[in-house]
Structure 1
Amino acid sequence: MPLLFPAILAMATVVVASNVLVQHLFGAWLTWGAFTYPLAFLVTDLVNLKAGARAARQVVLAGFVVGVACSFVGSQIAGEFGPLVTLRVAIASGLAFLTAQWLDVAVFDRLRQGSWWRAPLVSSLVGSAVDTVLFFSVAFAAPLAWVDPVTDVAWANEVLPLLGLGPQVPLWVSLALADWLVKLALALLALVPFRWIAAQWLGWRWRQAGR
């Protein structure tokens, strides 16, 4: 399939870039990786639109394999507080990516016959929410310390005001909320390239019909 290779390359690029950029802070609550990772949903949705759910799942699986490789490399690099990628973070990352992306594929496929914006927006929002909850809870929540007892996540469970302003919550909850808000904003912005690319693929009749 001609589309599959460039789609896998695009997904691999997003995954690798996000794994590198997540090591660099952006403000108090985010990393630069928060701005690149949501592009994975755009890649998945475009493949789903053009080639169907089966092809989209193949691209997701390829992205998962690349993510596992990135986690392995990160686990071999020593940072200031230990390996750049701990076992717990690696498990959380892989679980969140695979679950959220497959859910995105399923939701998009179910809604593909509706208005042009509904399938990409709803699928990305649902997938992003699941991705955020799974990653941050598995990686940092204190009750899940059994996942990787060796990794100390006490820093992530320090109780602070939510995003510096709200009620007292563990730090990881603020990190998760900030991450999800970025995903929400980018899901909306991604409708612009999605609409344009989809119009190029499906022709002027698709544009005229508002689909």
Structure 2
Amino acid sequence: MLSARPVWPFVAAMAIVVVASNIFVQFPLSGQIGPLVLADVLTWGAFSYPIAFLITDLANRRYGPALARRVVFIGFTLAIASSIVFPPLLFQWGLIPFELEPGRIVRVAIASGVAFLIGQLLDVSVFNRLRQTSWWRAPVVGSIMGSIFDTAIFFSVAFAPAFLFVGPNEPFALEHAPLFGLFEPSVARWISWALGDLTVKLTIAVVALIPYRLISARWWPQPVPA
């Protein structure tokens, strides 16, 4: 039986990443690249959240799927609780420029939690099925499939008017803007955010192979049997 102590670095890293992402997703990027208005495409959360898949895959390789799922569940619980507590504190400390509505905090936390569980558990399952194939296949395929579900669930629950029963809408997210910031017809801004978010996640899923390979080859050359 493995000691629970070595698992805590993964749990702590997971909680930090998800809490940060739940905050960063409140903030669209500012600026413009040619005709592309960045606020119509991306929030800062798109760059931090994909790290969660790297953490899950490393935990899965090191400890196997059972303990990887434990990391997911514990990290999820800590992250959701912290996501409700931290934003008001950050505003009071002057670290974010405006106070987030309590209803919006809860809705984003719920959206993040549901998307997190489904996306991460899907990643664990796919990784487990492919763990004995080429070293890169399990993390890439698992992260890609998890990312697709995660993005679709999170942005729908967090911003789509159909989920108003979860919490108040975000008016800026519902405003129409050119698709992906560039193309007609115009769509609700959150749809372009979702497309931009997924593009970043898929890109990072490939880039993350570098730290995944370096860390696993250095400390865990062979995956733990399922």
TM-score between both structures, scaled by the size of structure 2: 0.81
1:126 and 2:145 matched: yes
Map residues 160-171 of structure 1 onto 2, 5 A cutoff: 160-166=177-183, 167-171=185-189
Distance 1:140 1:40 in 2: 22
Cα distance change, pair 192–3 in 1 and its aligned pair in 2 (3 A): same
1:200 and 2:212 matched: no
In structure 1, the gaps of 5 or more residues are: 207-211
Q: CA deviation at 1:81?
A: 6.0
> Once the two structures are superposed, what CA deviation does each residue of 1:87-141 show, in whole Å capped at 9, x if it has no partner?
3222111101111111110110011111111100000011111110000001111
Q: Which has the higher contact order (CA 8 A, sep 6+)?
A: 2
Cα RMSD (Å): 2.1
Cα distance change, pair 139–153 in 1 and its aligned pair in 2 (3 A): same
Map residues 59-208 of structure 1 onto 2, 5 A cutoff: 59-74=71-86, 76=88, 79-80=98-99, 82-83=101-102, 85-148=104-167, 151-166=168-183, 167-203=185-221
Q: CA deviation at 1:24?
A: 4.1
Amino acid in structure 2 at the alignment position of 1:7: F
Match of 1:4 among 3, 7, 15: 7
Cα distance change, pair 60–170 in 1 and its aligned pair in 2 (3 A): same
Cα distance change, pair 195–52 in 1 and its aligned pair in 2 (3 A): same
1:48 and 2:60 matched: yes
Distance 1:70 1:16 in 2: 6
Moved over 4 A (4+): 74-78
1:209 is matched with none
Q: CA deviation at 1:170?
A: 1.1
In structure 2, the gaps of 5 or more residues are: 31-38, 92-97
TM-score between both structures, scaled by the size of structure 1: 0.86
Contact 1:57 1:102 in 2 (8 A): yes
